[in-house]
A and B are shown apart, each in its own frame.
Chain A
Amino acid sequence: MEALIKFFLLIPFVGFIISLMIPSKNETLISWTAFLTTGLQLFFSTVFVGYWLFNGHSTLDERDIELFRSLDYVFFIDLFFDKITAVYLLVGSFLTFIVAVYSRYYMHRENGYKRFFNTKLFFFLGYNLTILSGNLETLFVGWEMLGVSSFLLIAFYRDRYLPVKNAVKVFSIYRIGDIGLLLAMWISHHLFHENITFMKMANFELVSEHLSEHTMIGFALSLTILLSAVAKSAQFPFSSWLPRAMEGPTPSSAIFYGSLAVHIGVFLLLRTFVFWEHQYPVRILIASVGIVSALIAIGTARVQSSVKAQIAYFSIGQIGLIFIELALGFQNLALFHFATNALLRTYQLLVSPSVVSYLIREQFYNYSPHKHSLEYRYPSKIRNTLYLLCLQEWNLDSMMYKYLWNPIKFISRKLHFINFEKIIIFFVLVYSAGVFFLFNREMIPFRIPESSPTVFALIGLFMVLKAFSERKRVRMSWWLVVMNHFWIALTVAYNEKLQFSEIAMYLGGVIVSAIVGHLCIMRLKKIEKEVSLGQFNGYIKKHPKIAIIFLLACLGLTGFPITPTFIGEDLIFSHIHSNQIFLALFVSMSLIIDGLAIIRLYARLFLGPHVKSMYEMAYRSS
């Protein structure tokens, strides 16, 4: 029976690949592919779950492909199936299927019909990989796919300003979730000395044995998991991204932000429930996040005057309740709550355009001028204060700016004096010295200080900060990002003896992506002469091919599972010791910003309104 699980990955994968190959004019074939893919998935998953339930519904685990092995490290894909998977699988296939049928007509004649279904099937693949994953590594792969497909669907209307801006914004929050997971993987590696499967994690004795020795580490692991879950499920303090993600066509908003994607954080908590259920401080924290989110989100929802924002905030509120249920230990209730919330919000979003005629009619027949909502029981000054706070979304959005992006911008502005030549010289000199001494440690007259890897990591971090804030020079920005990976490699090499294969694994993908990306930029520059990062350029309309190759290069460079770098990233982390918290923090920070800098680069170059305004252009504010 275990062997059957992988079919639930195979179906979306095949569907996705086929959908890529159909010419974009052929709407019928594209929509049939989506219809069949999701339909088959729904059919087989229903049969499978039925059969599974009937046959004792035992937890299934299958260790699949081993992607990399070194002395004390194995990276393998592992699949897992239990009741949580079953519910997520059924709800996911049902909704994706319904939305596929819906979009078939709804998207008719829309520019990007094919792109929409491609992205949706890609999302579907990522979703299934995530929910079927049997270890954190596999989950991370699916998780990354969700992030990228999210970015692409929010920026679906890529020649308008706001969708692109919001797509980058959402991506950056997702990135925080990613780093939470990366750190979680790092910690769990040190805790269990292996890439532990969820199956093993469910083994109470094993877990409690490890935990009793390392309470703090166990606690840290739960915290990183919680961070990921909170970011991905738009809980406090990250809530404001969810309504802003509603930029794509309504069905994609429905399935992503109304239902499936936003519940992946809940999934992560459900999946790791057995791990943290005995850590009471964590449970209290989860409950608190849930309570705060629910209170803030429901209040905010009540004052929203646009339909989609209101649905988004109510959904966040419900997820807050789900968090509370989880913290209280009501796993099954939470699971059920997920299913109903996902179904309800999808439906509400899909019928949301009807709200005008429906509510106007309601109002026409039932209007009473002095009807007040229940808030009118509060004293007026408190009521007004709460109203204003809710209206401003409790400043969550501006707080993200203030505490997350502004410091980054501030530091990087301080790096303004650096120019490309200086950096290259610095890099070549210091880096080659670093490499030289790495292999000739005996030539160093003094003992290498413990902190030297941290210094390298810090240099790498500064480089990406610079890349992130660069306003003009595209190439410099690109190479700074690339160099960061080299610094990280050096860092780790100083930390522990690395095998060449490990370095190759990590930097191989980076180098290939770097060169491909460089060529794309050069080609673009040759045609368009002046290319600056000061504003969105929107070149995808004119150069769709360069754009797509560049996107692939970007993904490769961010450690997306198309090059071995994604294994390398995890591998590199496994070489950071459990006591090197700062090092881990710097490396993960630089990876966050690295991803941001790259996606910003892509967005600035290829998305947004076309810089030379040759086409029909929307207002910036629209």
Chain B
Amino acid sequence: MFNKHEVLHALKHYLPAQSPLKDFVHHNTLHAFQTDKFEDALRKAYYIFGYKVCLTLSEFRQMYEENRIPEIFLDKAIKSRKSEGEFADWKEKLLSKKYKNAFSPRIGILKSNWKRFYQIDLDAMVQPNLFRLLCSFLDQGIAIWDFPESEIPFLEAVKHLEKNSYTSIFKTKRAKKILLSGNHKIEDLLQIVVGDEKYFEQYLYDQQFAHQGWSGMVSNIEDNPVSMLSHRTISLEELIILELLLEIDALDSQYGENLWRPLALNIVVQPEELFAPVKGEELDEVLFIWQDAFEWSYYDQVLEAIIEEDTPHESIDKKSFQAMFCIDDRMCSLRRYVENLDSNCQTYGTPGFFGVEFFYQPENGKFYTKVCPAPVTPKYLIKEIGNTHKIGKEFITPMAPSRSIGSGFISQTLGITSAVKLFFNVFRPTMTPATATSFRHMDKNANLTIDFDPKNPEENGLQIGFKIEEMATRVENVLRSIGLVKNFAPIVYVIGHGASTVNNPHYAGYDCGACSGRAGSVNGRVFSAMANKPEVREILKSKGIDITDDTKFLGGLHDTTSDDIQFFDKKILSPESLEAHEENKRTFRKALDLNAKERSRRFDSIDSTESAKKIHKRIRRRSVSLFEPRPELNHATNALTIIGRRELSKKIFLDRRSFLNSYDYRVDDENGTYLANILNAATPVCGGINLEYYFSRVDNQKLGAGTKLPHNVMGLFGVANGIEGDLRPGLPSQMIEVHDPIRMLYIVEQFPEKILRVIERFPATYEWYKNEWVHLISVNPETKELQFFKDGVFVPYSPITKHVDKIKDVAKLVESHQENFPVYLIED
């Protein structure tokens, strides 16, 4: 009846899947429910696990009052589900009916019987010890005196500690004896604690979801041990065994061994089965209709703007430069400014690892860092050679003084220095060794082992550098996928991105997601070097992509927090192109100032009406300020992914809410190979970002990390509140507070039949669309006709919005207020 393997497997699936902090990558928080339709999934998550899954009714109603959800969209949302006759009734329900809101989820009910029948707070007795053992074992370098034998599996290490010491982790004998005997199957322990096999599964869920943060982390490390620099072997099963033993110990110490009865024997009324079908209530549907109305209030304007947008294709004769950026929504505004300042340039968007997947090893680094999308396991290694940059030591790291025994005396002098540092940190923030900055990812003057060298072919099973054909394939793939196959400008910039933050344990989430939470500088440089190789160009030419000698690719890095750009390998430029580059740099610099200004409108501490230059200075300072919990807003407000030619959305003011992936339907082949590549990457990546923001926003306490202000760093892999709390996966409130929780709308410039053929080929991708975790719209590239994907087919869609306002002066607009803007068309 109780099948351990099945139960553990399923349980692991439901636990939070967040990696250790250094590898923080966004993902769908409710990934376990993804096989269900979005709304069914939300209902289950709500009734079973007690997650809040939508905004509250009063929040929706308030948005309606403020006309952020116009009536027309509310009506449309109701009509799409209810018949004419029900309409008035439902509208009344949405707008004014009172609903009771108190309810308790199924999770935890079984285990709460300990308190009910035994007046014992088992969690409070067990968890602090359990967390302490776990954290110390997994610790990556906070403790100075580390866990004995942390190289062996967790339970073995605990056993070893228990056996070889004069004290014990237990208070009583029985638990100790069971542990040391090695005879501790989960079933047997459950038999002691729960006593009835039919409750075993439910008990385990209750137990593990009482501290889902820790359980999730353990489960994650079990599946992916390399995510810890100091390797640890641990499994959820070991955690459960130890927890059950500690529970037995707590009960024994309270009541005496064998003097208490297993939990199940006291149960009279059987608690509802955890995964029994969920019926749902009227309120759920009311909320879903609101959600619908909320989403379409935004989508519809965008779609109308796309229809009205009339930028002609291929109108630039003499191109000044082309620039490839990441698809990241943070590039959305920067690209607009660059294009505005230089009408002869072109910009492109493609995932920020630029199609080159490899491990990167900085000089003197003891480990390899993956710099490509998380699911990919690269076979290549790029090493940095000749790094001249020295990283200073923060001699006052939290631990520094204590590392030596004479701490008493050292702390005296350090105290005085601290006072000085504190003063300057507060009044004149500058970059310190404590800052995590993207510019440190790679020294711009160092060399990279990009070329394959037969004399030194590999290291630890990874090929060092790329061979010519491998380079050509990668360059071709990227260029074709973004539709850049002819008319190359003299300089093509390949600009990755990263972030600079300080006092921010979630720093990895601010870097490039396509590079596994690292900066994209190395990738930009590697791609450029490949594309500059004459041998590579030779091959490309034979495939119809002719890049002439006067075109140079130049790598770069955009820091999204401080809004600065660094360029690499300028030495390859000829004197003339160097001059052009200097000119372009001025364009970039100006664009960055303006971009900083646009970003500043969300920041209370900066006056957005000041000059762009001044604001940019403040933005830079902000990025190195210890006391700034919002160095940048990252992906907050993201809502769209536009896949198509730039002209589809070039003149639309999207308020930094869109991922932009370049794609030219004419360049793609019959099977839509490039579209498939794009969708297979963009769907889980952008969708994952979107849904993590969504869920962290609607339930910041259970699905998000709560406010970050009291966070305490645990073992370098997670954060908790205080010293004995559960780990807090998800996003802190400071990251999501301005986010509007709506699902992502993918707008693809391609014929609907072709899109359908492409996505149907890939079940994993198809699931996202079919189950409505994200939305999909096709824009006919010839007629601009819109078709919306629903229930497996595309159906025509015509926007309700009949007119999108035009604006001339974006700068003036961004000075006006802090909230989300409607969609505008920008006039020249």
Contacts of A336 in B (CB 8 A): 412
CA distance A336 to B143 in the complex (A): 28
Find out whether the CB atom of B713 lies under 8 angstroms from the CB atom of A385. Answer: no
Instruction: Choose from B365, B711, B720 the contact partner of A353 (Cβ within 8 Å).
Output: B711
CA distance A314 to B362 in the complex (A): 34
Best-buried of B167, B414, B605 by chain A (most CB within 10 Å): B167
B367 at the interface (CB under 8 A from A): yes
Given contacts A355-B397, A359-B716, A363-B230, contact A310 B140 (CB under 8 A): no
Instruction: Choose from B102, B143, B416, B715 the contact partner of A302 (Cβ within 8 Å).
Output: B143
Contacts of B413 in A (CB 8 A): 340
A344 at the interface (CB under 8 A from B): yes
Contacts of B672 in A (CB 8 A): none
**Proximity string of chain A (460-486) to chain B, C-beta cutoff 8 Å, 1 when within and 0 when not:** 000000000000000000000000000
Instruction: Choose from A356, A382, A388 the contact partner of B507 (Cβ within 8 Å).
Output: A356
**Proximity string of chain A (289-330) to chain B, C-beta cutoff 8 Å, 1 when within and 0 when not:** 000000000110111111111111010011001000000000
CA distance A98 to B711 in the complex (A): 20
CA distance A353 to B708 in the complex (A): 10
Contacts of B407 in A (CB 8 A): 298, 314, 317-318
A219 at the interface (CB under 8 A from B): no
A109 at the interface (CB under 8 A from B): yes
Binding stretch for chain B, among A13-21, A221-229, A241-249, A539-547: A241-249
CA distance A349 to B425 in the complex (A): 13
Find out whether the CB atom of B710 lies under 8 angstroms from the CB atom of A343. Answer: no
CA distance A86 to B340 in the complex (A): 61
A403 at the interface (CB under 8 A from B): no
Given contacts A306-B135, A309-B723, contact A366 B408 (CB under 8 A): no
Min Cβ gap B445→A in Å is 18
Find out whether the CB atom of A304 lies under 8 angstroms from the CB atom of B712. Answer: no
Min Cβ gap B401→A in Å is 7
CA distance A617 to B699 in the complex (A): 8
Find out whether the CB atom of A246 lies under 8 angstroms from the CB atom of B722. Answer: yes
B433 at the interface (CB under 8 A from A): yes
B706 at the interface (CB under 8 A from A): yes
Min Cβ gap B411→A in Å is 5
Contacts of A248 in B (CB 8 A): 710
**Proximity string of chain A (425-464) to chain B, C-beta cutoff 8 Å, 1 when within and 0 when not:** 0000000000000000000000000000000000000000
Find out whether the CB atom of A303 lies under 8 angstroms from the CB atom of B143. Answer: yes
Instruction: Choose from A157, A317, A350, A360 the contact partner of B716 (Cβ within 8 Å).
Output: A360
**Proximity string of chain A (89-110) to chain B, C-beta cutoff 8 Å, 1 when within and 0 when not:** 0000010001001111111111
B423 at the interface (CB under 8 A from A): yes
CA distance A162 to B121 in the complex (A): 14
Binding stretch for chain A, among B3-11, B622-630, B680-688: B622-630
B464 at the interface (CB under 8 A from A): no
Min Cβ gap B100→A in Å is 9
**Proximity string of chain B (89-105) to chain A, C-beta cutoff 8 Å, 1 when within and 0 when not:** 00000000000011110
A4 at the interface (CB under 8 A from B): no
Find out whether the CB atom of B422 lies under 8 angstroms from the CB atom of A347. Answer: yes
Find out whether the CB atom of A357 lies under 8 angstroms from the CB atom of B507. Answer: yes
CA distance A27 to B728 in the complex (A): 28
Find out whether the CB atom of A243 lies under 8 angstroms from the CB atom of B143. Answer: no
| Range class of the B interface residue count | 35 or more
Q: Count how many chain A residues have C-beta atoms less than 8 Å from C-beta atoms of the other chain.
A: 102
Given contacts A98-B426, A157-B721, A355-B142, contact A360 B416 (CB under 8 A): no
Find out whether the CB atom of B161 lies under 8 angstroms from the CB atom of A363. Answer: no
Find out whether the CB atom of A103 lies under 8 angstroms from the CB atom of B627. Answer: yes
Find out whether the CB atom of B723 lies under 8 angstroms from the CB atom of A246. Answer: yes
Find out whether the CB atom of B22 lies under 8 angstroms from the CB atom of A360. Answer: yes
CA distance A104 to B366 in the complex (A): 40
Instruction: Choose from B145, B230, B504 the contact partner of A367 (Cβ within 8 Å).
Output: B230
Find out whether the CB atom of A355 lies under 8 angstroms from the CB atom of B716. Answer: yes
Contacts of A309 in B (CB 8 A): 712, 723
What does DSSP make chain A's interface, helix, strand, loop or mixed? helix
Contacts of A302 in B (CB 8 A): 143-145, 402
Given contacts A306-B715, A350-B422, contact A381 B165 (CB under 8 A): yes
A358 at the interface (CB under 8 A from B): yes
CA distance A365 to B141 in the complex (A): 13
B304 at the interface (CB under 8 A from A): no
Given contacts A301-B402, A616-B699, contact A367 B229 (CB under 8 A): yes
Find out whether the CB atom of A616 lies under 8 angstroms from the CB atom of B21. Answer: no
Find out whether the CB atom of B148 lies under 8 angstroms from the CB atom of A344. Answer: no
Contacting A at CB under 8 A, from B204-227, are 210-213
CA distance A620 to B398 in the complex (A): 29
Binding stretch for chain B, among A372-380, A518-526, A554-562, A565-573: A372-380
CA distance A387 to B157 in the complex (A): 13
Find out whether the CB atom of A387 lies under 8 angstroms from the CB atom of B213. Answer: no
Find out whether the CB atom of A622 lies under 8 angstroms from the CB atom of B405. Answer: no
A239 at the interface (CB under 8 A from B): no
Find out whether the CB atom of A380 lies under 8 angstroms from the CB atom of B164. Answer: yes
Write 27 A-B pairs (CB below 8 A) sorted by A numbering.
Answer: A98-B423, A102-B626, A157-B710, A157-B721, A249-B709, A251-B627, A298-B407, A302-B145, A303-B136, A305-B138, A306-B714, A308-B722, A317-B407, A321-B408, A336-B412, A340-B413, A344-B414, A348-B396, A353-B505, A361-B436, A365-B362, A373-B145, A392-B129, A616-B700, A619-B210, A619-B726, A622-B213
A94-B419, A351-B626, A617-B701 known; 16 other A-B pairs, CB under 8 Å? A156-B710, A163-B722, A302-B143, A302-B145, A305-B138, A336-B412, A344-B411, A347-B421, A356-B713, A363-B140, A381-B165, A385-B167, A387-B148, A388-B169, A613-B102, A622-B213
